[in-house]
């Protein structure tokens, strides 16, 4: 059947894989090989001129990895996808692909994962990419004034980490497009089950597949997807029109990625430039683990969203909690966006303010028993962490203030346990903290 007529839950299990092409194996095999025989000289010519599909070398492409890429491409309604060795590789390759050359800037949300923020401080400026922290990401009407002549993209998270803020992606995308630049959305927390950024105007989507996409906490992986809707022929992005000797056709004519890969120029340029030469390749085994996780995506994310709302409601009523941030709460300032855009839930991440001293806060964390204390999210296990000291410990006091991360913030990533057991664990930790 055509992928276009299959439902989401069918696609997460079947999309991108035909057993007949893999010796009738029901589950995608792990192709643990470095290279592939060319069969004959003509086949090699076709592969090196990109006139025929196939695999050259596992650093740039592998059959197991290709199944993951195609499955996510279909789930996200994208034109193309590339899987990489980590979510940070996905972010880095995407922004470098857009703003390389020492004359590009990226306007970024202040509400981001701490590793992204730290990379924007330490790495990108040294590679010639300027980073501007947006002051009006929550007010798209004012956001356009922050776009500079050399701004090459806007970058946001659909659900922010750690505060679980929601944003009007449709309005932000319009601002970007009105100014001739793309919108890049990190959709890690939402996953395509809860939210499809491309359907809301995003041009490029990135994931840390380490998190909710795989859901078991056993693999590091990242993905970049392109919508196919943004015009990369623009003079603002001359790198996509640059001709390469290595992309020459069968007659020896040099081509640009736009000419060689007209349907997927963005991810193709990442594959044959950044992945090829910087080498953040996803291993076939890790791709296989991510594929296994995808098969239970809907059930996991659905339960985690329901559990998180139960935990958020419990915490909101607790005398030892100053505030709770979760979009599905009726008290949330993002309730309208939640009702409009997140019909299946607001995800498995929340944050709350611990009402007590630093010593009491540390006693609370040390007292947890069922929750795990570490920095991952989207795991089948419930996780709890003091983000200002860990996941966002790279931020200065001033940067934490801009990102709205007070020192008493505690982040929860809900797993698949019984919600009542999680509440019991939180309650006994509160009791010990204030004993």
pLDDT tens per residue across span 175-196: 999 999 999 999 999 999 999 9
Q: Is the pLDDT of residue 1 over 80?
A: no
Phi–psi pair at 432, nearest 5 degrees: -70, -35
pTM as predicted = 0.96
Domain end call among 244, 264, 293: 293
Residues 189, 220: Cα–Cα separation, whole Å: 15
What pLDDT is recorded for position 4?
64
Backbone angles phi, psi at 206, to 5 degrees: -120, 150
Three-state DSSP string of 163-185:
CCCECCHHHHHHHHHHCCCCEEE
Are residues 29 and 11 located together in one domain of the fold?
yes
Query: If pLDDT is split at 50, 70 and 90, which confidence band does 321 have?
Result: very high
d(CA 138, CA 353) in angstroms, rounded, equals: 22
How far is it, in rounded angstroms, from Cα 91 to Cα 117? 11
Strand ranges across the sheet with 104-108: 80-84, 222-226, 204-208, 183-186, 151-157, 104-108, 129-133
Distance separating alpha carbons of residues 269 and 286, to the nearest angstrom: 23
Q: Are 199 and 343 in contact (CB under 8 A)?
A: no
Q: Tens of pLDDT along 22-42? A: 999 999 999 999 999 999 999
Mark whether 243 and 314 lie in a shared domain.
Answer: no
CA pair distance 5, 15, nearest whole angstrom: 12
pLDDT value at 205 more than 90: yes
* pLDDT above 70 coverage of the chain, percent: 99
Give me the pLDDT at residue 3, please: 57
Where do we find the tokens 């709460």? 329
- Do 41 and 170 belong together in one domain? yes
Mark whether 215 and 256 lie in a shared domain.
Answer: yes
Q: What is the pLDDT of residues 350-409, one digit of tens each?
A: 999 999 999 999 999 999 999 999 999 999 999 999 999 999 999 999 999 999 999 999
Candidates 351, 387, 340; CA nearest to 170 is 340
Helix and strand numbers (H, E) in the chain are 17, 11
Question: Last residue of a domain, which of 278, 293, 308?
Answer: 293
Residue 267: CATH number of its domain: 3.40.640.10
How far apart CA 91 and CA 305 sit, in angstroms, is 25
> What is the per-residue pLDDT across 68-94, written as a single tens digit (0 to 9) for each?
999 999 999 999 999 999 999 999 999
Strands 104-108 and 80-84: unpaired
Overall domain count for the chain: 2
Of 273, 293, 313, at which residue does a domain stop? 293
235 lies in the same domain as 278 = yes
Domain that holds residue 384: 298-433
Same domain membership, residue 273 and residue 373: no
Residues 63 and 195 in one domain: yes
Q: Mean pLDDT score of the chain, rounded to an integer?
A: 96
| CATH at 403 | 3.90.1150.10
Contact status, residue 219 vs residue 85, Cβ threshold 8 Å = no
């Amino acid at each position: 059947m055509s992928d276009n007529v299959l439902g989401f839950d069918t696609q997460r299990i079947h999309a991108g894989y035909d057993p007949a092409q893999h010796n009738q194996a029901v589950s995608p095999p792990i192709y643990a090989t470095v290279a592939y025989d060319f069969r004959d000289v003509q086949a090699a010519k076709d592969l090196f001129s990109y006139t025929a599909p196939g695999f050259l070398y596992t650093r740039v492409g592998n059959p197991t990895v290709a199944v993951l890429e195609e499955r996510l491409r279909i789930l996200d309604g994208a034109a193309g996808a590339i899987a990489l060795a980590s979510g940070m590789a996905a972010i880095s390759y995407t922004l470098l692909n857009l703003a390389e050359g020492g004359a590009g800037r990226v306007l970024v949300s202040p509400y981001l994962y701490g590793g992204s923020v730290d990379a924007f401080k330490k790495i990108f400026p040294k590679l010639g990419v300027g980073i501007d922290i947006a002051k009006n990401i929550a007010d798209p009407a004012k956001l356009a004034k922050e776009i500079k002549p050399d701004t090459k993209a806007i970058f946001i998270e659909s659900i922010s980490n750690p505060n679980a803020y929601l944003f009007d992606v449709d309005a932000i995308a319009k601002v970007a497009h009105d100014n001739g630049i793309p919108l890049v959305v990190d959709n890690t927390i939402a996953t395509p089950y809860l939210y499809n950024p491309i359907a809301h105007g995003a041009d490029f989507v990135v994931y840390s597949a380490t998190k909710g996409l795989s859901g078991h906490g056993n693999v590091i992986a990242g993905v970049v997807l392109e919508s196919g809707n943004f015009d990369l022929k623009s003079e603002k992005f001359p790198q996509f029109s640059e001709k390469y000797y290595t992309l020459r056709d069968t007659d020896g004519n040099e081509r640009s990625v736009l000419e060689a890969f007209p349907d997927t120029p963005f991810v193709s340029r990442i594959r044959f430039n950044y992945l090829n030469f910087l080498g953040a390749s996803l291993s076939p085994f890790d791709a296989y683990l991510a594929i296994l996780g995808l098969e239970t995506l809907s059930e996991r994310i659905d339960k985690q969203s329901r559990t998180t709302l139960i935990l958020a409601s419990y915490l909101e009523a607790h005398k030892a909690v100053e505030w709770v941030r979760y979009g599905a709460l009726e008290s949330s300032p993002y309730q309208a966006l939640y009702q409009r855009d997140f019909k299946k839930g607001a995800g498995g991440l929340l944050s709350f303010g611990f009402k007590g001293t630093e010593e009491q806060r540390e006693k609370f964390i040390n007292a947890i028993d069922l929750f795990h204390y570490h920095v991952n999210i989207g795991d089948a296990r419930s996780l709890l962490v003091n983000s200002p000291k860990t996941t966002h410990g790279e931020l200065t006091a001033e940067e934490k203030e801009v990102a709205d991360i007070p020192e008493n913030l505690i982040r929860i990533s809900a797993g698949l346990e019984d919600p009542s057991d999680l509440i019991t664990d939180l309650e006994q930790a509160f009791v010990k903290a204030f004993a």
